[in-house]
Structure formats: C-alpha cells, structure tokens
Structure 1
Amino acid sequence: MYQLSWKTYLSWSYLVRMIVVISGLFLYALGIVLTYRSGIGLDPWDVFHQGISKHTPLTFGTANIAVGAILIGLSLFLKVYPGVGTLLNMLLIGSFVDLIIRLNLISDPGNIPFLLRLLIDVLGVAVIGLGTALYISPRLGAGPRDGLMVRLQEITKIRVSLVRAAIEITVLVLGYLLGGTVGIGTLLFALGIGPAVEASFYLIKRLQKYLRL
C-alpha cells in the first residue's frame, strides 16, 4: 500500500488541500446555521443533533461532534479507517456551528414572513452543497456518516441509495422524538442537497485548472 511520507504533509499542495477542506467544513457549518435560523426544519442528522442537545448538556454543535466520534468508533469496528478529512469533519463542523451561533454571525431573523424564512433555508442548503463539494474534492477522507454508509452498503449488498435512506429516516425519526425541528425545510434539504452538491462540483471542476487539489 502507498504510504504518505512526512514530506507529503509538509508540501505546498497538501497545505492547499487542507485549506480547501477546512474552508468547505466552515461553509457546511454556515449552511447548517442558516437552516437552523430559518426555523422551518433541519436535515435529518441535524434534527437528531438538535434533539440530543435538548436532553443533554451538549450544545447543538457538540452533539454533532459526539455523534461523529461515535460513528467513527463504529466504523473502526467495521474496519473503516478515517482519513484526515474524516477527523476534521468530526471536529470542525460542530465547532464552527457553535462558534457561528455564539458570535451571532447569522442572527435569529425573528418574526419575518415565511417566504423569507424559506429563502434563508434554501440559501443554507446551497451553502451546505458548496461546503460538501469543497471538503470532498481534495480527497482527504469522507465524513463519518458517509464512510459508515458506504461500509454498510458493502456488508449488506443493498443499493447505497436505500442504505442512505434507511439511515437518514432512522435518525430523523429519533431526532423528531427527541424534539428536533422537522418541517418543510427537512423536505427541501432532501430534495435540494443532491442538485446543490452536483452544481458545486461542476463549479469546482471549472476552477480546478487554477487550483492544485
């Protein structure tokens, strides 16, 4: 197996890849906070994280970190080994979410019309899509949830779309029972995240001749 040397980690190209990953994770967190502030529903995993935060001392962001750590542990049991990007995903998204909320970078919109809340939510999904494409593009490791999904598909031989749907429905129901916010925003995420990621990958590919990813 090809092993990365210490010189690889000190190279300029590796540093650029790390910056892209971290930027993507920040944008992902920013998108989460936008959907959170819209108040019309979160994506399935964040419904779960929010539900956990309502019944534990954990904040919304630290619940994200805790769940990611548990999933990495479960993935290790299933012989899925995390990459640098996997660990950064687990640590930074939740940290950035809490930081953005604490600094009030995206303030609570208050009693604004539903249509504006809808636009905030759609913007959040678009930003999550861009963040996803950015942190995946440097190929430093999938997120904890994606790695587990792929491994379960390999074990069960069930189509990956069905495995993903089963996982997300499970966490959505658990999150809802714990008091997480489910609404039209949850549906918008389900319908919009695929096109948002696809469009973001297209834009990134158009820029790749200027970046060494």
Structure 2
Amino acid sequence: MQKENQIESKIRILLMVTGILLIGLCVSFLRIAGFGVDPFSGMNLAISGFIGWSFGNWQLVINIVLLIIVFFTVRHCIGLGTIINMVFVGYIADFICFLVNDVAQIHITMPLRIIALILGQFMASMGVALYMTADMGVAPYDAVAVIIEKATKGKIPFHIARVSSDITVVMIGVLFCIIGKNSVWSIVGIGTIINACCNGPMIQFFKEKVIKHLIRQK
C-alpha cells in the first residue's frame, strides 16, 4: 500500500510539473506568435507595461492578491502546484522569449507564427488540465472559475465561468493598453479570442476524456 501511494504521489507530481511547464511554454509561444496572448497573460502584460514592471514580477504580485481571495473562498484549491504555478509560469515565459528573441534572434515567419499559435493553445488547455488532474492545487487565476461555480451553486458550470472570467480580463487588458497608449494588438488578437472561447471547454475535454482515461489505463 505504501509503495502504491509513493507511485501515485510521483505520478501526481509529474502531472503537476509537466502541466506548469506547458503553461509557461504556452505563454511564451503565444507572445512569440504575435496573434495575441491568453487573456490572463494579456491583462498582466498590459498592466506590467503600463507601470514599467517585468511581466514575471507583476504576474507574481497579482497571483499573490488572487491567492488571498482563494484562501478565503476555495481553500481546497491551494497546494504545492499553486505556489509553483504562480511563481514560475511568468518567469518561464520571460526566459523562453529572451532565448528566442535576444539570444537566438530567430526570425519568426508567418508559418512559424501560426504553428506557435496552435501549439500555444494546445499547451494552455493540456497544461491546465494536467495540473488540475494532479490535484496538488491550481493557479490562483484558474481557481476563479471554481469560485464562480461554487458561488452560484453550480448554476454557472466551470467552462462557462472560465469563458466569462477570460473575457473580463481581456477587457481589463485592453483598457490598460488604451490608457498607456500602447498597441492593443500586442496582447489581443485572434489568439486571445481562440483562447478565451476554447480554453474552458478544452480543459474540460482533456480532464474528462483524455487524462483520466490514460491514468485508468495505467
């Protein structure tokens, strides 16, 4: 029994770490693609640019604020994965973008942008589904949809709550771009729309139809 528990713990940690790595890669791929980033990253890029902070530093601050709200509403969502996600995703994205743009100085052609967009969306949904399935805590922002679902007693299901929260943060990001006189298209584009509309349903799909099925097969 103890050996089985140890194996299960290792699998959960692997799912959590892989999921968070995919999310960090997703953010960087969407930034590199230039078609607009995911809603939460878009809001944070707009605000960090407006106040002159790095993306990673601002994302950590807003995650701490959200973590406090999560602590008092859906405390069961907090775990090791929560802390790792809120600390590392922003910095992973910054690091990958630094390698591609400043170190390798790769010329991103239109075909590469489209591939990056597709891979970024896939990584976003799969990454969130992986670390949510690991049940070691979710990122503060991902818990927002859980809070909404709980507050409405299930009348607003997770995937609808996720789409609603995504649209809200997109609007906040656009507002800060306008206030800061920055290009809205730097954070909002077809990639943002695809992510906002598809992320919730795709996360649900990966959780219920793919990941849990693979785990049961093992």
Secondary structure of 2:138's aligned partner:
coil
- Correspondence 1:34 to 2:29: yes
Secondary structure of 1:141's aligned partner:
coil
1:13-32 paired onto structure 2 within 5 Å: 13-32=8-27
Partner of 1:159: 156
Pick which of 150-159 and 36-45 moved more. 150-159
**TM-score, normalised via structure 2 length:** 0.77
**Counterpart among 32, 43, 46 of residue 48 in structure 1:** 43
Pick which of 147-156 and 36-45 moved more. 147-156
Structure 1 unaligned spans of 5+: 1-6
Cα distance in 1 for partners of 2:8, 2:164 equals 38
C-alpha RMSD of the superposition = 3.0
- Correspondence 1:137 to 2:144: no
CA positional deviation for 1:168: 2.2
Cα distance in 2 for partners of 1:111, 1:23 equals 26
Secondary structure of 2:172's aligned partner:
helix
Q: What is the aligned-residue identity percentage?
A: 27
**Counterpart among 80, 83, 87 of residue 79 in structure 2:** 83
**Counterpart among 178, 186, 195 of residue 189 in structure 1:** 195
Cα distance in 2 for partners of 1:66, 1:112 equals 34
Structure 2 unaligned spans of 5+: 178-183
**TM-score, normalised via structure 1 length:** 0.79
CA positional deviation for 1:205: 3.6
Partner of 2:167: 169
Query: What is the total number of aligned residue pairs between the two structures?
Result: 203
Partner of 1:178: 176
Given the superposition, is the C-alpha separation of residues 186 and 107 from structure 1 closer, same or farther in structure 2, using an over 3 Å criterion? farther
Pick which of 197-206 and 26-35 moved more. 197-206
Question: Could you report, residue by residue, the CA deviation over 1:22-61 in whole angstroms, capped at 9, with x for unpaired residues?
Answer: 1110011101111111111112111101112202343222
Indicate if the aligned counterparts of 2:20 and 2:85 stay in contact, CA closer than 8 A.
yes
Partner of 1:3: none
Cα distance in 1 for partners of 2:48, 2:104 equals 20
